[in-house]
Structure 1
Amino acid sequence: MTSHDMQKDIMTTCKIEIVKDIIEDINNDYFVLLVDESRDVSGKEKMAICLRYVDKKGFVMEAFIGLVRIKDTSVLSQKEAIVDVLPHHSLTLSNVRGQCYNGACNMQGELSGLKTLIRQESRSAHSVHCFAHQLQLTLVTVSKKHVQVGELVLLISNILNVLGASFKRVDNFRESQKMYLRMAVDMGELETGIGLNQELGLVKDGDTHWGSHYKSFGNFISSFDSIVDVLDTLVVNATTLEERASASGFLISCQTFEIIFLLHLMTDVLGITNDFNVSLQKKEQDIPNVMILV
């Protein structure tokens, strides 16, 4: 275990055996395709491929079968990756009976989305947009139609972009967080223990990620003092007049009563649907209880 090469070999062997058992469990039967793509820390595009199927005992199972590198985020690259991976595991598109993707247009597009290309290969591969995802997207879209809420979302997004624009700013943000955390612990305002007081990152919201707005607003509130500190520093030390003016404008805007009020209001509203969505996705959930939750 002291050899990195040996560790990789062991992990690869485990993966091969696990995927082999999954494929045997599917037994050339029907399955649902679950796909999502994102960039890794090196900026390379990768796509995770999972399957949902009914095993021999009648239980619905979900299994991860691979993470593949794709050329870009285009639909053709995504389909090409899927077409290459499935035959490698003795699976075919003709056995696909469902598709589950996020709400991005390259996934859900009616004319040239991934779901449309897959359905051209298998007419029974029906796509069902995650209902929890739809609920969150609807709530965010309706909220943004209110001008003040739209301004809030734009302001938070711009501030996070400014703070994350350089490693130095991110380091300043983290150091400020540590300072306020130590002060809170010394004053007895926070409990200490395993898993408590985890470092909060600069979470950016994204319309295709159903919980991102809630997490982004919540982290912004929790890290508000550190965000103000970094903006203060930029007003004084930014290299260009444009950067100083931008930081000064953000600093003034984020400390107004209206912005603070809307930030807490939207966190409370999105928190309700967030708890609801988390409950809906529990494996032990049943239909009668879901109706009560709705």
Structure 2
Amino acid sequence: MVKFIGRMNEDIGDIVLARAPKNTKYTSPTIQKEILHIIANRVRGKIREEVGDAKFCILVDEAKDSANKEEMSIILRFVDHLGVLRERFFEIVHVPNTSAATLKEKISTILSRYNLHNSNMRGQGYDGASNMSGSWNGLQALFLKECPYAYYIHCFAHRLQLTLVGASTKETSVYLFFSKLLAIVNLIGCSPKWHTELHSAQAIKIANMVTLGERDTGRGINQIGNLHRSGSTRRSSHFGSICSLIDMYGAIISVLESIVE
């Protein structure tokens, strides 16, 4: 980005990157994160201006990132001064746990930081997990105690996913396939010994295929992956689980035969 801007403007191009003073190149990870943080705050400030004095709803979900940390995303839904319905991604924040009290504290802190009061909340959209939808101690119940107009709606995307999963269990062949797939993932994943054996068998298979020219080489192409467990609320996770099974099929068979012996 710096290189591109330098090309577009000679005045900038003369003072950035190789031509910049050694202590002000602005390319270190620390400085880049600081710049991104400043930009993010500016964006959130603009969204706050867009909300104005309007009532708003929140859409919240949490998931683990690649570092196995729990992250919570917050989206604001509101009607702007032109009467147009808007949805704006507002914040993603790390949470130490997914208890309702912790999530509420984090959400309230972020909203209050931008002068968005819980009393102006008119809706909550979450999945159906007990920590979110619980009638007594769930996140939606905690916000309802502060604002009785913040009605909770079970996320329709999650409801559709649960419906698809429920419907698929009525098709015997589909149900048996995914049941066996889950059993294989659990069986191999429960033992560090079998997990290591799976990786070793997969490494040998990849090396043989590369030698025979049956597999392309390149950065990140032949990394040894893991079997993925499917989740009932994310249909795409079933596809990912099948793909990992296909890619590691030979290694899986080798490990299963070893277990049988």
TM-score, length of structure 1 as denominator length: 0.64
**Distance across 2 between alignment mates of 1:37 and 1:232:** 37
| Structure 2: distance between partners of 1:110 and 1:184 | 60
Asked which structure has the greater CA Rg, the reply is: 2
More helix by share: 1
Q: Does 1:227 align with 2:249?
A: yes
2:61 and 2:127 in contact (8 A); partners too: yes
2-side partners of 1:149 and 1:158: how far apart? 14
Tell me how many residue pairs correspond in the alignment: 230
How far residue 197 of structure 1 moved from its aligned partner, in angstroms, is: 11
Residue identity in the other structure for 1:15 = A
What does 1:147-162 align with in structure 2 at a 5 Å threshold? 149-162=174-187
Name the structure 2 match of 1:291: none
The TM-score, its normalising length taken from structure 2, stands at 0.71
Aligned-pair distance for 1:178? 4.8
- For residue 73 of structure 1, report the CA deviation from its aligned partner: 1.6
> How far off is 1:33 after superposition?
0.5
Gaps of 5+ in 2: 1-25
> Which of 106, 113, 116 is equivalent to 1:88?
113
User: Contact 1:172 / 1:230 at 8 angstroms: preserved in 2?
Assistant: no
Tell me, yes or no, if structure 1 residue 135 matches structure 2 residue 135: no
- Contact 2:77 2:88 (C-alpha < 8 Å) held by counterparts: yes
Q: Distance in 2 between matches of 1:34 and 1:210?
A: 20
Greater relative contact order, per chain length (Cα 8 Å cut-off, separation 6+): 1
Q: Is the 8 A contact 2:62 2:70 kept in 1?
A: yes
Q: Check conservation: 1:74, 1:106, Cα contact below 8 A.
A: yes
Native 8 Å contact 2:182 2:230 kept in 1? yes
- Tell me whether 1:206 sits opposite 2:231 in the alignment: yes
Distance 1:80 1:52 in 2: 20
Report the CA distance between 1:177 and its aligned residue: 7.7
Where does 1:179-198 land on structure 2 (aligned, <5 Å)?
186=214
Deviations 1:107-145 (A, max 9, x none): 122333212222222222122223332122123124336
Percent of paired sites with the same residue = 33
Which stretch has the larger CA shift, 144-153 or 67-76? Answer: 144-153
User: Which of 75, 80, 91 matches 1:50?
Assistant: 75
1:211 aligns to what SS in structure 2? helix
Q: Residue 138 of structure 2 corresponds to which residue in structure 1?
A: 113
2:197–2:255 contact (8 Å) kept in structure 1: no
CA offsets 1:172-231 (integer angstroms, 9 cap, x no match): 4764785698699859xx9x9xxx9999863321123243334434x25643xx233234
Aligned amino acid, residue 98 of structure 2: T
CA RMSD, 1 decimal: 3.5
Q: How big is the shift at 1:7? A: 0.8
Paired with 2:205 and 2:133, the residues of 1 have a C-alpha distance of 39
